[in-house]
Structure 1
Amino acid sequence: MRKPRDFDTELKTLEDKARELKTRKVQQLGELVIATGADSLTAQELAGALVALAETKDAGKREAWAKRGAAFFQGRSRRSAPASDRDAGSTSAQPGGAQPASGATGAT
């Protein structure tokens, strides 16, 4: 006879994992705001800019923002990479696993 599943424990584990992922996402977004220098803006200015960005449907603008964001991450990777990595021309992964908000799949 099989042991019955403990759905309550499984559900709690999933809820804990979801909470952890949400916390990590919020932390990474905060780190991104600081890294870009946007932390010098007021909360109202930052919120307004993000609302305008989210409402923009112009594919050309979004692609330009995505390229600028990619260049930002590549520049940070180059500055933080050891000299041997820079000489080899390799690129490092994005710091902290942060994802650019203007990725092709869109922000959530």
Structure 2
Amino acid sequence: MRKVRDYDAELKALNDKARALKAQKIQQLGELVAATGADALDTGTLVGGLLHILKEAKAPAVQEAWRSDGAAFFQRRGRKASGSSGSDGQGAGAGRASDAQS
């Protein structure tokens, strides 16, 4: 006899996973803001800057320049963290840099 699937439970599990992934993404974006020092800006300035980035990011050459600057930022942070006793910036930073490229 076939086992009956509980579609409601599967849907709830998928919704819970999607909610957890969204929360993780929001947390990582906040960590990026703090890591770059942009948390010192007031909210209006930060949002205005992001809106300008969205307008200018349509050119592939601009995106590539920004992507390489971002990768260089995380590489610098990785070297600084590897010199200390903890691995605070290297593992997490390198993962975020590759996330930003995809």
Query: Per the shorter chain, which TM-score range?
Result: 0.7 to 0.9
The secondary structure found in structure 2 opposite 1:3 is coil
1:62 aligns with 2:63: yes
Aligned length: 96
Comparing 53-62 with 41-50, greater Cα deviation is found at 53-62
Q: Which runs of 5+ in 2 are unaligned?
A: 85-89
Residue 16 of structure 1 aligns with an amino acid whose one-letter code is: D
1: CA distance, partners of 2:94 / 2:67: 18
Change (3 A) 1:61 1:18: same
The secondary structure found in structure 2 opposite 1:97 is helix
TM-score normalized by the length of structure 2: 0.81
Q: Which runs of 5+ in 1 are unaligned?
A: 84-91
Comparing 93-102 with 55-64, greater Cα deviation is found at 93-102
RMSD across aligned C-alpha pairs, in angstroms?
Answer: 2.1
TM-score normalized by the length of structure 1: 0.77
Deviation at 1:81, TM superposition (A): 1.6
Residue 78 of structure 2 aligns with an amino acid whose one-letter code is: S
Higher helix fraction: Structure 1 or Structure 2?
2
Partner of 2:36: 36
Residue 50 of structure 1 aligns with an amino acid whose one-letter code is: L
Residue 34 of structure 2 aligns with an amino acid whose one-letter code is: I
Identity over aligned residues, as a percent?
Answer: 48
